[in-house]
Amino acid sequence: MKSARDPICGMTVDIATALQVEQHGEIRYFCGESCREQFVNSLVPSDPAGPCAIVIFGASGDLTKRKLLPSIYHLVANGVLRKEFAIIGVGRRDWSDRDFRGHLREAMEEFASPNIDNELWDLFEDRLSYCSGSYTDLETYRKLDRMLEQEATARETGGNVLFYLSVPPESFGSISTYLGESGLLREPAGNWRRVVIEKPFGHDLASAMELNLTLSKVMAERQVFRIDHYLGKEVSQNLLVFRLGNSIIEPVWNRNHIDSVEITAAESIGVEGRAAFYESTGAFRDMIQTHLLSVMALVSMEPPTSLEGEAVRNEKAKLLDAIRIPSKEEVRTGTVRGRYGEGEVNGQLVPGYLDEPSVPSESTVETYAAIKLWVDNWRWAGVPFYLRTGKRLARRVTEIVIRFKNPPLQLYGKTECSPLGPNLLIMRIQPNEGMTLQMRAKTPGTVTRTRAVAFEFDYSQFGSVEFSDHSTGYEKLLYDCIVGDPTLFHRADMVEAAWEIATPILDGWESGIAGELTTYAAGSWGVKEADRLMGKDGRQWWTM
């Protein structure tokens, strides 16, 4: 008998007799009509986004071809974006509409679904146009304004426009200012205009405040969508559902039951030809100050009064405000930084950071950072949060580990098959999104012995219910931008609060409080000092 798993209830079913649904060329099997109907209903978007025009500054860049265009295509293909849309690319290259379309067709074949629907692509291609010009020339914006008026009539976009600034961060302020001066950010009655900017949101607190001030002069805060692709990951979005939608979780989500929280973002790759960018940021600015602090806020924020975007962001902002600003002593004893040397990754010898192309020999930039933070509020007082990130580590993984406290009395401590350890909840953000709950259980036999067992959940249990396996991770975020849901995006006060936390650490490193950079071998788990950071607290990093 050949069997399959019902993607709704998880039951094993006989494929010869099970109810079936075909999706993206794959057959799904169901135990009964109820599960089949639930699955089918999940395939139909309840509220498709649109109509609108999407304007991409930096249209010839990597982000556009790798993420943005494939994401928009997936939204249309899955019925999540209405067909009353237009895409206008803005760039300095002297391209025609035909050049732009040819460039993006090649990108689609490489980065989107492997089997592009030709009929859908014809519709999609017909809505692509290109505006050539300088970002600092007001005439470019006048030309763009005329094109938007034409698209509003031809494509029935309703005058709604999403401006996506896929450009270097030093251009965020100037482009926004020109958009404001040209009138492109004005919102006539019934229409909306929104601006999306990528991280980094400033290089330090002063520059972040300056950028926020610049943006506030030409648009309302509700028009600004500061995007963080980590929050587009399913597990990141599922954090609140997991916490607030399950009555067995929230009662233990506090200092009385949780020993510590660990957030890791490890990469096996190096700087990949982006040395100039990395030299201006480093591991801490690139990952911890933005992504990991934001994930930490989702993990530890208080339940919001509703799921409205501002209600959720209010609680995230309160949590960031509650994170203790590190003192000089805490920077010295609770932070670690390092730089990768040569080593072996996936069986290949790789150079150290200082030997990478375009990296100056006198570089002092860290490629690894680990820190310990405290949240000074009623729920989390006394619970350490350990955050780490690095390049050229043993493997690529981003995960959250919730370490629960041990039972007050270790009755089974002398009868263990495996070392006695705490209950763990591991939430994997990438590469294999899912969750693992590690608990103790008795092994079979007449003698009472226990060992750690894992209860696993991964998203394959749901099947592919919205986007294909070639999803970029930007689909959800772009959809939210278009419908105006700010929940997963950074607000100005949240950005500044994160920099308030980061500034003493960066200043301390620059002044030498935390010592010199330590070299770690590529392919390892980073510098030994990071192990000691947790070891002196009687803990150790989780590595599966």
Segment 357-406, tens digit of pLDDT: 999 999 999 999 999 999 999 999 999 999 999 999 999 999 999 999 98
Work out the average pLDDT over 141-161.
95
Rounded-to-integer distance, Cα 164 and Cα 387, Å: 30
- Model confidence at 74: pLDDT above 70: yes
Supply the mean pLDDT for the chain.
87
Q: Report which of 462, 488, 491 is spatially closest to residue 473, judged by C-alpha positions.
A: 488
CATH for the stretch 231-535: 3.30.360.10
Tell me the per-residue pLDDT of 470-513, one tens digit each, with 9 for 90 and over. 566 788 899 999 999 999 999 999 999 999 999 999 999 999 88
Name residue, tokens 């970029």: 472
Residue with tokens 């020109």: 178
pLDDT tens digits, 103-143? 888 888 777 666 677 888 888 889 999 999 999 999 999 99
The pTM assigned to this predicted structure is: 0.86
Summarize the confidence of residues 28-51 as an average pLDDT: 67
What pLDDT, on a 0 to 100 scale, did the predictor assign at position 465?
Answer: 45
pLDDT digits (tens, 9 = 90+) for 400-455: 999 999 877 776 666 555 555 678 999 888 887 788 888 877 778 777 777 777 78
CA-to-CA distance for 156 and 447, rounded, in angstroms?
73
Q: For residues 527 and 286, give the distance between their C-alpha atoms in angstroms, rounded to a whole number.
A: 18
Q: Is 156 exposed, middle or buried (0-12, 13-18, 19+ CB in 10 A)?
A: middle
291 catalytic residue (yes or no): yes
pLDDT band for 266, please (50, 70, 90 cuts). Answer: very high
- Which CATH homologous superfamily contains domain 52-198? NAD(P)-binding Rossmann-like Domain (3.40.50.720)
Q: Could you tell me how far CA 248 lies from the centroid of its own chain?
A: 27
Q: Give yes or no for a cis peptide into 51 (omega within 30° of 0).
A: yes
Q: Stretch 297-321: mean pLDDT, rounded? A: 93
Task: Give the residue extent of every domain in the chain.
Answer: 3-42, 52-198, 231-535
pLDDT of residue 114: 62
Identify the pLDDT of residue 311.
93
The one catalytic residue among 103, 229, 291, 490: 291
> What does the radius of gyration of the chain's CA atoms come to, in whole angstroms?
25
| First vs last C-alpha separation in the chain | 35
CA 27 to chain centre: 30
d(CA 164, CA 145): 15
Reply yes or no on whether the pLDDT at 212 is more than 60.
yes
More confident residue, 192 or 78: 192
Q: How far is CA 428 from CA 31, 236, 373, in A?
A: 29, 9, 21
Q: Which token pair is 370? A: 């680990």
Quick check: helix, strand or coil at residue 275? helix
